[in-house]
Amino acid sequence: MQKVDKFQSGAEKAKVLVVGGGGRCHAIVDALSRSPKVGKIYCAPGNAGIATQAECVPLKDTQVEELKVFALREKIDLTVVGPEAALAAGITDVFTDAGLRIFGPTKAAATIESSKDFAKRLMDKYSVPTAAFRTFEDYSEAVEYVRNGKFPVVLKYDGLAAGKGVVIAEDFAQADATLKDMLLDAHFGKGKVVVEEFLTGPEFSFMCFVNGAEVYPMVVSQDHKRAFEGDKGPNTGGMGAYSPVPLITDEDIEYSLEHVMKPVAAGMVAEGCPFKGVLYGGLMKTPDGVKVIEFNCRFGDPETEVVLPRLTSDIYDIFSAVADGSPMPVIKWSDKAAIGFVLASKGYPGSYDKAFAIDGLAEAEALGDIRIYHMGTAEKDGRLVTSGGRVLMVVGFGENLRAAQAHALKAVDCIKCDNLFFRKDIGWRVLL
């Protein structure tokens, strides 16, 4: 049913709640604050940077019932969900049942991220290109299959594992140890393991606004998952990103839209769990064409911090159209390039200390062509301090990626903190 949005005239402004608290949510809050239709923005739980643009609410993203009570009490007009945990906890179902408008997929549709096996079977059924795979529950069967296969082999725990559930095993001994860990010792909980063919090629992130069977592409970006320069060190949540990605041609994007994103959206409708929200395709341009590495059911982090600043249309209209199932407005993007450097706590993604003072943000922002998104910051005794593994994302803009990089690196230089490190080589595939 199509609803009339009373905020279209601009006479009355919408109250919006953003659920989440990292850099992705800061970028969402920032984009919403550019909308003339949006008045007050709340963010739960938010962080010290978000607090400059929204009122932070001390509720965790997974406190679904408490968030519902808050949204009803404050008469929130639209809720936008950042992290997957809230979606997997069924926030969209609970809010919708309570008559609240919300942007984000249902728990059933969020399974495309929370179960790798579900995603693989869906791709198989709808002929979406992806790595060959088999799923196992039994350790001995998995070991036999892997023993006779090729290396490296990719082993994926079938469930949410905070980005740690994927192991690329170089040889049988490593594969065996991983399968033992995942299937016998149930390190992430009892579950299945997807054993997948190892693919090669540059990866890119293709996020789309999806409204049932309708798919609206965002500009493409690329994340950098490894902790250290030269793509070395452990996997992280992402150490930087840039957009556009010159390695990915218009034909690649067209192919990805027609052969990946649209068939998956149509497949979700056919399976009885239509997807409404952001569908994130983690794709790889292999020598045999574009293939899917993974799907996420929400905005990517840190990709969102370089993609949403390039959006020139009103994001409130887009979120509303998806929440209401009404026609989507025309979506426009700026030609400017964006590149973002994550400043992380020393020790991340392992253990790290917190509460180090951060200075120089105002000087950095005053340089112009810069946005600084807070990922893990807090306020302590009136000072900005570190409070997470990933702390800040410094995004530079420019006519091209090189100009954007120069702006961002100058801004990074202004930021003073005793416990941060960053990768200088973000964008190396296209800039070096």
Q: What residue ranges bind ligand AMP (CB under 6 A)?
A: 131, 154, 156, 166, 168, 196-199, 203, 225, 282, 293-294
CA angle 152, 158, 159 (to 5 degrees): 130
- The residue (of 175 and 306) whose beta carbon lies closer to ligand GLY is 306
Distance of alpha carbon 229 from alpha carbon 220, whole angstroms = 22
Please write down the HEC assignment for all residues of 263-326: HHHHHHHHCCCCCEEEEEEEEEEECCEEEEEEEECCCCCCHHHHHHHHECCCHHHHHHHHHHCC
Q: In the complex, what is the shortest distance from the CB of residue 243 to ligand GLY, in angstroms, rounded to a whole number?
A: 12
Q: What is the smallest separation between the CB atom of 162 and ligand AMP, expressed in angstroms?
A: 10
| Residue 14 Cβ vs ligand AMP, minimum distance, rounded to whole Å | 34
Question: Kindly report the CA angle at 306 between 391 and 222, in degrees rounded to 5?
Answer: 95
Site string for ligand GLY, 225-264 (x = CB under 6 A): -------------x--------------------------
Q: Which is nearer to ligand AMP, 22 or 282 (CB)?
A: 282
- The one-character DSSP state at 329 is P
Judged by DSSP in three states, 397 sits in: strand
Compute CA distances 427 → 166, 261, 334, 432, whole Å.
Answer: 24, 25, 19, 8
Residue 83 touching ligand GLY (CB under 6 A): no
162 or 186: whose CB is closer to ligand AMP?
162
Determine how β-strand 193-197 pairs with β-strand 203-211: unpaired
Binding partner at 154 among ligand AMP, ligand GLY, none, C-beta below 5 to 8 Å by kind: ligand AMP
Pick from ligand AMP, ligand GLY, none: which does 199 bind, CB < 5 to 8 A by kind?
A: ligand AMP
Q: Which residue is nearest to ligand AMP (CB)?
A: 294
* Interaction between residue 301 and ligand GLY (CB under 6 A): yes
Whose Cβ is closer to ligand GLY: residue 35's or residue 222's?
Answer: 222
- The entry of ligand AMP, ligand GLY, none near residue 227 (CB within 5 to 8 angstroms by kind) is none
Site membership for ligand GLY, residue 300 (CB under 6 A): yes
Residue 238 binding result from ligand AMP, ligand GLY, none, given CB thresholds of 5 to 8 Å by partner type: ligand GLY
From candidates 130, 296, 386, 405, binder to ligand GLY by CB under 6 A: 296
Residue whose CB is less far from ligand AMP, 108 or 161: 161
What is the C-alpha separation between 67 and 51, in angstroms, rounded?
A: 18
Residue nearest to ligand GLY (CB): 300
The binder of 61, among ligand GLY, ligand AMP, none, by C-beta within 5 to 8 A per type, is: none
CB neighbour burial string for 343-366, b if at least 16 within 10 angstroms, e if fewer: bbbeebbeebeeebebeebeebee
Nearer to ligand AMP by C-beta: 163 or 368?
A: 163
Residue nearer to ligand GLY on the CB measure, 207 or 215: 207
262 binds, among ligand GLY, ligand AMP, none (CB under 5 to 8 A by kind): none
CB 124 within 8 A of CB 171: no
Q: Is the dihedral of CA 413, 415, 419, 423 positive or negative?
A: negative
Closest separation in Å from C-beta 298 to ligand GLY? 8
User: Which phi and psi angles does 103 have, rounded to 5°?
Assistant: -105, 115
* Choice between 264 and 293, CB closer to ligand AMP: 293
> What is the DSSP secondary-structure string of 167-195?
EEESSHHHHHHHHIIIIIS-TTSS--EEE
Query: Which helix H or strand E contains 205, and what residues bound it?
Result: strand 203-211
The CA distance from 394 to 365, in Å, is: 9
**Residue ranges that bind ligand GLY, judged by CB under 6 A:** 223, 238, 296, 300-301, 303
